[in-house]
C-alpha cells in the first residue's frame, strides 16, 4: 500500500475509534453512581484507551500524508480541518490525564467526529504547494495555530458541559434557548455532511457557464441541485434542474446553494430528532453532563484558555506575522483571516480580563468559552468560504 | 485622605480592603462576606484613591478594567466590520481617485457598497477613530497596569506569615479542627511543603508556604510587551524608518530601486513554472487532473548594483553587488531592504522581425529585427539594401493634427515609418507600418513585412524597509514571556497556623488552578495532621460528601 | 501642643507635595499618550516629495553629445529643469518656446536642463531633430533622478532652481510662452 492510501485508511480507523470512544465514555457516565466510581470507571479506562488508539491512528494519517506529499498536511481546508480535529482529541487526552473526566470525552469526541466529517466534504486529493505556501512557516504557523485553537476549543467543551448541567431545562429561559441553539448549529453541520454525502454518492453534477465579477466568462460545477444560478448563467448540463433565482455577480450562487441545502437538511434532521426523542437535544444530553463536577468544568474551561491562549498567540499572531513579513512583505495587512485571528485573540483577552477582575465565573465564563469557539469556527468556515481573502486556498 | 489603621497597628493606604500586613478585613463589606476578594490582595488601587482634578478623572477612567474590556470589545467589533467588504488596499482600482473607489463599491455591492464607502468602512483601519481606539487601548493598558502592579507588589512584600483568623476564615479554601499534636503537625507540614518546593516561612506557630509568586507579574510583563509592540508600530511613522514601494521592471531593464536611493536592479529574467503530470510527483496526479496546471514557482532573476561611493544619482558609475533569484517567500535582502516577488505581466512586445520584400515577386532582400525598446536608426541588409527607421511610435494611437502619436512609451501597439533603400530606389521609398496596417504616400515597389515577434515579461516587485521589525519582535517576545509566566505558573499560598488550644487552621489561595492547590494540600496531609478543609466554591463535591464519599 | 501642630502641619505639606507630584506624573503620562495618538493620526507614511524651498538634489547625467552634466556645475546660476517624455503632448507644445528663449537666458545666467524619462536614444534623437532643440538634453536611463531623487509623477514637470540651489517653483502642467519667460526671469541671478 502506498502512503497516500495508507493515510486515508488510518483516518478512517481513527474516525471509527472516536465513535467507539464516545460510546464508552457514555457508559462511564451512565454506569457510575458517585464521583469516585465515575473517575475510576472501567468504561472510562477503555474509552481513553480507544481514544488514544484513534489519536495514534490519526497521527499516523498525518505523518503518512506528510510523507506522501512532502509537505505538512495543513495546506487546504480538508487537511487543516482534519489536523484541527486531531489536535482537539490530543488536547482532550492531555486534559483527561490531568482531571480524569469521562464527561469531557463524551462531549469532545463527538465534536471531533463532526469536524472530521465536515472536513471530508472538501476535496481530499493531495495537492502540490502553490508558491505562496512554499515555506517552512506553513508547518510552523499552521500547526501552532491549530494546537492553540484546539486547546481553546476544549474550554468550549467544558463550558458546554457546565451549561448542560447547570441550566434548568424545565423552565423557559434565554439560556435554555441559546443552549438549544448551539445544539441546533451542530445539527446543521451534520445536515451539511449528510446532504453533501448523499448528493456526491448519487454522483450529481450540474455544469454552468457564467460571467464572473470581473466580467469574464467562467465555468462552474454544482454538486447540489442548483437552487441559485450564478450571474448571467447558461446551463450546460440539460437534464438537471433549472435554478430558481439568478444571483448578482458578487454572490457565489454555488456556495449559497450548498448553504441552503445544508440548512434545509439540518432543519429536517433536527425536526426528526425532536420527533423521535420528543425532547430538546440539550435535554437529551443533560443526564450525561450531570455527573461532571461543575467547579472542575469551570476550572478546566479556564485552564484550557490559559494554556491555549499563549499557544494561539504564538501560532496565529506572532508566527503568522513573521511569515506574512517574509511572503507578503508586510507582517500585517488587515486581510480578513488576519483580522479574525486578531478578533479571536481580543475575545479571549476580554475573557481573561472579565474573569480576573470582574469575577465572571461559572455560567458567564462558560458562555464566553462557547462564544470563543463560535468565533474560531467562524474564522475557519465563514471567512474561508464566504469572505475571500489571501487565505482562501481551499 | 486618611490612612486606615488596622487593629494590628499597620497603617494601610486609603481604599485598602484587607490589611496589608495581617489580612484583617477593613471594610464593612469585607467583614460581612464569607469569602474575600483576593485579586489584588485587597490592596488599595491607586486610581480609586483620589477623585479630584480632571487629570485624576481621566486617569481613573483608563485605570478601570471595565473600560479596558469595553475598549477591547469596541476594537474587536469594529475590526469585524472592516472584513465585510474588501478594504481599499485590496481593491483593483488604479490611482487614488475617490470616485473610482466609490464606483467600484457601488458596481459590485450596490447600495450597501455605497453606504460602506460613505461610512469610511472601506478604509477603516486607517481611519482616525480606529487609530484613536487603538491609542485608548494602549493608554488603558499602561494606566491600568501601573495602578495595579505597584500596590500588588507592595502588599505581597509586606505580607506577614501570621495572619489574623478573620483573614484565614474568609479564604476560599479553609478548614479548622483540633489535632492531636499541633506542633508536630507544623513541623511535618513545613518539611512536606519544602519538599514540594514551596518557599516556607514560619512565625510563632504559623506557616506561610508560597510558590511561584513571579507568576503574578506575568500580566504586567505581557502588557509591557504589548506597549513595546504598539510603540514599534508608531515608530513606522518616523521618517526613514519605513519604506513601502512597488516597481515594475521588464526583463532586460535596469532601474533604480524606488525607496532605496543608490541601488539599481536589473531584471535578467522572469519565469513562471507549473506542475505538470509528467514531472510532478505521482501523488499529485488526481489534483492536477481535477484542477489543471498548478503554478509551482514565480521567479525573478535579478542583479543588484550599487552606485559607487560619492557618485551622484544618474551617473552610470555602479558596482555589481549580487545576483539573486527572487521567489515568493524568499525576498532579496540587502542593507535593511527586502525586495519581494509580488506580481508579473507576460507578453509585452520586445522585438519585431520584418522582411523587406519586393511586392511583385515576393522576393526577400533580407530580414531585420527592431528592438522596440532601443531601436536603431539604420538596419543594413547587405547588397545595397537597407532600412532607415524614420520614426517609431511605441503605443500608436492614431493621427492627431496630421501627425501619428503614441499615447505611452510602452510598446503596446508599435508603429513605424520606414525608409526602404534598395538598389532600384537609392533615395528610398517611405512606408508607414503598424500592426495589420500599411500606409504608403505613393505606391511603392517594396514593402516591409512583419515576420515574427518576441515578447518579454515584467516583474512586479515590492520594496520594503522596516526598521521597527526588531522592536515589534521584541514586543512579541516580551509578550510571550509575560503570558507564559502568567498562565503556566500559578501563585499558590498555604497558611497553616495554630488556633486556641489544639485547634489548627489551614487556608489556601491561588490565582488559578485550584485543583492542583488542593492536591498539594492533600499531599501535605499525608504526612502532617491537618484539619479537613472545604472549597467554598465547589458545591458539587460538598453535595457528594454529604452522601458519604470524599474526593 | 505647638509641637503637635507643627508636626501636623509638616505632614500636611508633605501630603500636598505628594499630591502635586502625583498630578504631575499623571498629567505627563496622559500627555505622552495623547501626543502618541496625535502622532499616529498625523504621521504620513507617504513618500516625501520635493517641495518649494527644498534644496534641489544634485545629479549627474550624460547629455546627447556624451558630455557629463552635473546640476552642481551651475551653482551661482538659475536652472530651468524640465522633465519630459516624447509621448506627452503638453511636453511637445512647450518645447519650441523653451528653445526660443533658452539662448537669451543662458547669457543672463539661467541654464535649461532637460531630462527625458528613460526613453530610447532613437526617440530622443528624432525628437531633438524634429524640434531643433539646442539646449542640453539628458536621458535618465535608470529613472534614478526622476523617480528617487525628484519623485516626478506627472509630465511635464518643471522646477525652477535659484542660484543657491533652492527650488523656487514647481510646475506640473503645460506652460505658455509668457509663463516660461517669467519663470526663467524669476531665477535670474542679479
pLDDT exceeds cutoff 70 at A390: no
Nearest CA of chain C to the CA of B262: how many Å? 8
Q: Which residues of chain B does A354 touch, with a Cβ-Cβ cutoff of 8 Å?
A: 69
pLDDT exceeds cutoff 80 at B263: yes
Residue of chain B with shortest Cα separation from A345: B76
What's the confidence (pLDDT) of residue B208? 92
For residues A288 and B338, the model is more confident at: B338
**Shortest CB distance from B131 goes to which of C37, C141, C148?**
C37
Please work out, in degrees rounded to the nearest 5, the angle formed at the alpha carbon of residue A94 by the alpha carbons of A92 and A95: 65
Pick from C40, C73, C137, C149 the residue to mutate for testing the B interface (most B CBs within 10 Å).
C40
**Shortest CB distance from A346 goes to which of B72, B328, B338?**
B72
Domain limits, chain A: 3-169+280-385
What's the confidence (pLDDT) of residue B51? 58
What's the confidence (pLDDT) of residue A181? 93
Q: Per-residue pLDDT tens for A289-329?
A: 888 888 889 999 999 999 999 999 999 999 999 999 988 88
**Shortest CB distance from B55 goes to which of C27, C141, C144?**
C27
pLDDT exceeds cutoff 70 at C73: yes
DSSP per position, A59-125: HHHHHHHHHHHSS-S-SSHHHHHHHHHHHHHHHHHHHHHHH--HHHHHHHHHHHHHHHHHHTTS--S
Alpha-carbon dihedral angle through residues B215, B217, B220, B225, given to the nearest 10 degrees: -60
pLDDT exceeds cutoff 80 at B135: yes
* Rounded CA separation A21/C186 (Å): 90
Asked if chain B contacts chain A via 3 or more Cβ pairs within 8 Å, the reply is yes
Domain limits, chain B: 1-43, 45-156, 172-199+490-546, 213-238+467-488, 242-345+460-464, 348-455
Domain limits, chain C: 1-43, 60-186
List all residues 6 or more positions away from A80 whose beta carbon is below 8 Å from its beta carbon: A74, A119, A142, A146, A380, A394
pLDDT exceeds cutoff 50 at C6: no
**Among A84, A92, A11, A87, CA closest to A54:** A11
ipTM: 0.89
Q: Which residues of chain C does B241 touch, with a Cβ-Cβ cutoff of 8 Å?
A: none
Question: What average pLDDT does this structure show over B486-504?
Answer: 88
pLDDT exceeds cutoff 50 at B551: no
Q: Per-residue pLDDT tens for B223-250?
A: 999 999 999 999 888 888 888 888 889 8
Q: Which residues of chain B does C119 touch, with a Cβ-Cβ cutoff of 8 Å?
A: 409
Interface of A with B in 140-199 (CB under 8 A): none
What's the confidence (pLDDT) of residue C145? 82
Q: Per-residue pLDDT tens for A263-294?
A: 999 999 999 999 999 888 888 888 888 888 88
What's the confidence (pLDDT) of residue B362? 87
What's the confidence (pLDDT) of residue C67? 85
- The cell for B239 is 521618517
Share of chain A above pLDDT 90, in %: 48
Q: Which residues of chain B does C126 touch, with a Cβ-Cβ cutoff of 8 Å?
A: 390-392
What's the confidence (pLDDT) of residue B75? 95
**Shortest CB distance from C23 goes to which of B53, B244, B389?**
B53
B256 with C148: Cβ contact below 8 A: yes
pLDDT exceeds cutoff 90 at C52: no
Look at strands B385-393 and B415-421 and give their pairing: antiparallel
List all residues 6 or more positions away from B96 whose beta carbon is below 8 Å from its beta carbon: none
pLDDT exceeds cutoff 50 at A229: yes
**Shortest CB distance from B295 goes to which of A130, A329, A359?**
A130
Looking at mean pLDDT, say which of A144-148, A211-215, C19-23, C135-139 comes out highest: A144-148
Q: Per-residue pLDDT tens for C155-175?
A: 888 888 888 888 888 888 888
- Level-2 CATH architecture, domain B172-199+490-546: 2-Layer Sandwich (3.30)
Rg of chain B over CA atoms, in angstroms?
A: 40
For residues A266 and B261, the model is more confident at: A266
What's the confidence (pLDDT) of residue B46? 56
Mean pLDDT of chain A: 88
Question: What average pLDDT does this structure show over B6-18?
Answer: 81
Sorting pLDDT into bands at 50, 70 and 90, what band is B542? low
pLDDT exceeds cutoff 90 at A141: yes
For residues C75 and A341, the model is more confident at: A341
**Shortest CB distance from B539 goes to which of A70, A249, A294?**
A294
Share of chain C above pLDDT 70, in %: 89
Pick from C31, C137, C142 the residue to mutate for testing the B interface (most B CBs within 10 Å).
C142
Please work out, in degrees rounded to the nearest 5, the angle formed at the alpha carbon of residue B493 by the alpha carbons of B168 and B481: 145
**3-state secondary structure at position C87:** coil
What's the confidence (pLDDT) of residue B204? 83
Sorting pLDDT into bands at 50, 70 and 90, what band is B543? low
Asked if chain C contacts chain A via 3 or more Cβ pairs within 8 Å, the reply is no
Residue of chain A with shortest Cα separation from B329: A327
pLDDT exceeds cutoff 80 at B528: yes
Question: What average pLDDT does this structure show over C60-69?
Answer: 85
Rg of chain A over CA atoms, in angstroms?
A: 22
Is it true that domain C60-186 has CATH number 3.40.30.10?
A: yes
Q: Per-residue pLDDT tens for B356-382?
A: 888 888 888 889 999 988 898 889 888
Pick from B328, B536, B537 the residue to mutate for testing the A interface (most A CBs within 10 Å).
B328
pLDDT exceeds cutoff 90 at A330: no
Q: Which residue has the cell 464521583?
A: A35
Please work out, in degrees rounded to the nearest 5, the angle formed at the alpha carbon of residue B80 by the alpha carbons of B79 and B81: 90
Asked if chain C contacts chain B via 3 or more Cβ pairs within 8 Å, the reply is yes
What's the confidence (pLDDT) of residue B170? 87
Residue of chain C with shortest Cα separation from B233: C40
Sorting pLDDT into bands at 50, 70 and 90, what band is C14? low
Asked if A18 and A89 touch (Cβ cutoff 8 Å), the reply is yes
Q: Is A311 on the interface with B (CB under 8 A)?
A: no
Interface of B with C in 244-263 (CB under 8 A): 244-245, 254-261
Amino acid at each position: 500500500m502506498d502512503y497516500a492510501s495508507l493515510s486515508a485508511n488510518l483516518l478512517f480507523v481513527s474516525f471509527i475509534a472516536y465513535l467507539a470512544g464516545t460510546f464508552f465514555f457514555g457508559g462511564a457516565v451512565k454506569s457510575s453512581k458517585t464521583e469516585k466510581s465515575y473517575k475510576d470507571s472501567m468504561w472510562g479506562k477503555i474509552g481513553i484507551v480507544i481514544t488514544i488508539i484513534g489519536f495514534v491512528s490519526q497521527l499516523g494519517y498525518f505523518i503518512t500524508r506528510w510523507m506522501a506529499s512532502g509537505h505538512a498536511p495543513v495546506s487546504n481546508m480538508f487537511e487543516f480541518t482534519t489536523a484541527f480535529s486531531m489536535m482537539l482529541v490530543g488536547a482532550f487526552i492531555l486534559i483527561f490525564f490531568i482531571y480524569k473526566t469521562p464527561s469531557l470525552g463524551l462531549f469532545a469526541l463527538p465534536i471531533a467526529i463532526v469536524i472530521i466529517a465536515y472536513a471530508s466534504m472538501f476535496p481530499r486529493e493531495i495537492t502540490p504547494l502553490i508558491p505562496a505556501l512554499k515555506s517552512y512557516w506553513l508547518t510552523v504557523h499552521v500547526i501552532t495555530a491549530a494546537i492553540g485553537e484546539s486547546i481553546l476549543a476544549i474550554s468550549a467543551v467544558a463550558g458546554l458541559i457546565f451549561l448542560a448541567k447547570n441550566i434548568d431545562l424545565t423552565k423557559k429561559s434565554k439560556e435554555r434557548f441559546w443552549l438549544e441553539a448551539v445544539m441546533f448549529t451542530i445539527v446543521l453541520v451534520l445536515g451539511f455532511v449528510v446532504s453533501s454525502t448523499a448528493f456526491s454518492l448519487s454522483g450529481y453534477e450540474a455544469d454552468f457557464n457564467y460571467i464572473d465579477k470581473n466580467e469574464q466568462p467562467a465555468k462552474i460545477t454544482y454538486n447540489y441541485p442548483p437552487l441559485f444560478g450564478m450571474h448571467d448563467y447558461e446551463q450546460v448540463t440539460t437534464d438537471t434542474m433549472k435554478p430558481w433565482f439568478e444571483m448578482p455577480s458578487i454572490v457565489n450562487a454555488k456556495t449559497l446553494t450548498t448553504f441552503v441545502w445544508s440548512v434545509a437538511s439540518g432543519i429536517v434532521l433536527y425536526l426528526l430528532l425532536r420527533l423521535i426523542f420528543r425532547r430538546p437535544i440539550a435535554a437529551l444530553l443533560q443526564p450525561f453532563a450531570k455527573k461532571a463536577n461543575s467547579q472542575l468544568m469551570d476550572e478546566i474551561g479556564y485552564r484550557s484558555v490559559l494554556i491555549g491562549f499563549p499557544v494561539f498567540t504564538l501560532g496565529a499572531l506572532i508566527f503568522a506575522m513573521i511569515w506574512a513579513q517574509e511572503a507578503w512583505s508586510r507582517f500585517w495587512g488587515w486581510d480578513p483571516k488576519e483580522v479574525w485571528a486578531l478578533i479571536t485573540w481580543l475575545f479571549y483577552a476580554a475573557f481573561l480580563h472579565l474573569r480576573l477582575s470582574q469575577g465572571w465565573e461559572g455560567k458567564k465564563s462558560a458562555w464566553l468559552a462557547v462564544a470563543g469557539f463560535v468565533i474560531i469556527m467562524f474564522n475557519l468556515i465563514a471567512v474561508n468560504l464566504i469572505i475571500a481573502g489571501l487565505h482562501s486556498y481551499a | 485622605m486618611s490612612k486606615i489603621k488596622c487593629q494590628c497597628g499597620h497603617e494601610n493606604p486609603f481604599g485598602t480592603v484587607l490589611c496589608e500586613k495581617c489580612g484583617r478585613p477593613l471594610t464593612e463589606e469585607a467583614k460581612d462576606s464569607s469569602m474575600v476578594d483576593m485579586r489584588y490582595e485587597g490592596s488599595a488601587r491607586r486610581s480609586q484613591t483620589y477623585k479630584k482634578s480632571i487629570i485624576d478623572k481621566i486617569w481613573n477612567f483608563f485605570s478601570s478594567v471595565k473600560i479596558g474590556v469595553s475598549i477591547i470589545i469596541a476594537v474587536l467589533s469594529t475590526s469585524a466590520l472592516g472584513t465585510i467588504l474588501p478594504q481599499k488596499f485590496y481593491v483593483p482600482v488604479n490611482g487614488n481617485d475617490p470616485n473610482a473607489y466609490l464606483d467600484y463599491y457601488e458596481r459590485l455591492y450596490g447600495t450597501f457598497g455605497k453606504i460602506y464607502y460613505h461610512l469610511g468602512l472601506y478604509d477603516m483601519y486607517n481611519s482616525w477613530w480606529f487609530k484613536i481606539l487603538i491609542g485608548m487601548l494602549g493608554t488603558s493598558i499602561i494606566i491600568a497596569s501601573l495602578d495595579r502592579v505597584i500596590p500588588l507588589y507592595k502588599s505581597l512584600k509586606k505580607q506577614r506569615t501570621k495572619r489574623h483568623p478573620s483573614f484565614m476564615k474568609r479564604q476560599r479554601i479553609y478548614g479548622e479542627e483540633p489535632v492531636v499534636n499541633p506542633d508536630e503537625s507544623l513541623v511535618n507540614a513545613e518539611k512536606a511543603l519544602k519538599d514540594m518546593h514551596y518557599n516556607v516561612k514560619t512565625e510563632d506557630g504559623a506557616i506561610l508556604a508560597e510558590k511561584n509568586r513571579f507568576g503574578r507579574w506575568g500580566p504586567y510583563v505581557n502588557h509591557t510587551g504589548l506597549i513595546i509592540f504598539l510603540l514599534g508600530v508608531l515608530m513606522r511613522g518616523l521618517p526613514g524608518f519605513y519604506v513601502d514601494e512597488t516597481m515594475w521592471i521588464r526583463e532586460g531593464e535596469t532601474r533604480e530601486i524606488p525607496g532605496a536611493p543608490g541601488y539599481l536592479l536589473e531584471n535578467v529574467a522572469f519565469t513562471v513554472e507549473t506542475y505538470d503530470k509528467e514531472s510532478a510527483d505521482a501523488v499529485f496526479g488526481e489534483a492536477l487532473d481535477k484542477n489543471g496546471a498548478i503554478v509551482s514557482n514565480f521567479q525573478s532573476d535579478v542583479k543588484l548594483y550599487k552606485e559607487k561611493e560619492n557618485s551622484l544619482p544618474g551617473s552610470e558609475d555602479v558596482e555589481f553587488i549580487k545576483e539573486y533569484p527572487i521567489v515568493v517567500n524568499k525576498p532579496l535582502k540587502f542593507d535593511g531592504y527586502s525586495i519581494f516577488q509580488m506580481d508579473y505581466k507576460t507578453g509585452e512586445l520586445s522585438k519585431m522581425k520584418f522582411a523587406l520584400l519586393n511586392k511583385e515577386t515576393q522576393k526577400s532582400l533580407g530580414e531585420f529585427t527592431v528592438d522596440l525598446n532601443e531601436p536603431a536608426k539604420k538596419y543594413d541588409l547587405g547588397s545595397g539594401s537597407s532600412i532607415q527607421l524614420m520614426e517609431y511610435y511605441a503605443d500608436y494611437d492614431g493621427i492627431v493634427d496630421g501627425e501619428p502619436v503614441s499615447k505611452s512609451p510602452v510598446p503596446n501597439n508599435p508603429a513605424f515609418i520606414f525608409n526602404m533603400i534598395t538598389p532600384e530606389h537609392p533615395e528610398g521609398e517611405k512606408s508607414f507600418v503598424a500592426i495589420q496596417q500599411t500606409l504608403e504616400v505613393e505606391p511603392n515597389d517594396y514593402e516591409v513585412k512583419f515576420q515574427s515577434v518576441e515578447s518579454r515579461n515584467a516583474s512586479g516587485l515590492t520594496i520594503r524597509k522596516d526598521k521597527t521589525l526588531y522592536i515589534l519582535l521584541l514586543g512579541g517576545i516580551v509578550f510571550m514571556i509575560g503570558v507564559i509566566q502568567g498562565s503556566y505558573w500559578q501563585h499558590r499560598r498555604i497558611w497553616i497556623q495554630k488556633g486556641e488550644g489544639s485547634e489548627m487552621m489551614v487556608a489556601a489561595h491561588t490565582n488559578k488552578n485550584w485543583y492542583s492547590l488542593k492536591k498539594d494540600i492533600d499531599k501535605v496531609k499525608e504526612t502532617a495532621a491537618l484539619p479537613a478543609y472545604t472549597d467554598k466554591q465547589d458545591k458539587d463535591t460538598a453535595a457528594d460528601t454529604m452522601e458519604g464519599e470524599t474526593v | 501642643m505647638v509641637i503637635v501642630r507643627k508636626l501636623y502641619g509638616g505632614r500636611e505639606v508633605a501630603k500636598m507635595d505628594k499630591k502635586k507630584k502625583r498630578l504631575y506624573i499623571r498629567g505627563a503620562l496622559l500627555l505622552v499618550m495623547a501626543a502618541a495618538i496625535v502622532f499616529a493620526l498625523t504621521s504620513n507614511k507617504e513618500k516625501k516629495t520635493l517641495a518649494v524651498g527644498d534644496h534641489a538634489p544634485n545629479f549627474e547625467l550624460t547629455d546627447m553629445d556624451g558630455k557629463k552634466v552635473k546640476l552642481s556645475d551651475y551653482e551661482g546660476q538659475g536652472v530651468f529643469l524640465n522633465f519630459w517624455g516624447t509621448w506627452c503632448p503638453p511636453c511637445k507644445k512647450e518645447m519650441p518656446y523653451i528653445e526660443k528663449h533658452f539662448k537669451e537666458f543662458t547669457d543672463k545666467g539661467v541654464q535649461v536642463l532637460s531630462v527625458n524619462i528613460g526613453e530610447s536614444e532613437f526617440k530622443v534623437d528624432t525628437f531633438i531633430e524634429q524640434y531643433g532643440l539646442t539646449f542640453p538634453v539628458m536621458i535618465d536611463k535608470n529613472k534614478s533622478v526622476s523617480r528617487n531623487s525628484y519623485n516626478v509623477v506627472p509630465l511635464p514637470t518643471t522646477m525652477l532652481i535659484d542660484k543657491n540651489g533652492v527650488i523656487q517653483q514647481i510646475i506640473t502642467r503645460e506652460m505658455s510662452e509668457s509663463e516660461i519667460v517669467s519663470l526663467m526671469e524669476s531665477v535670474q541671478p542679479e
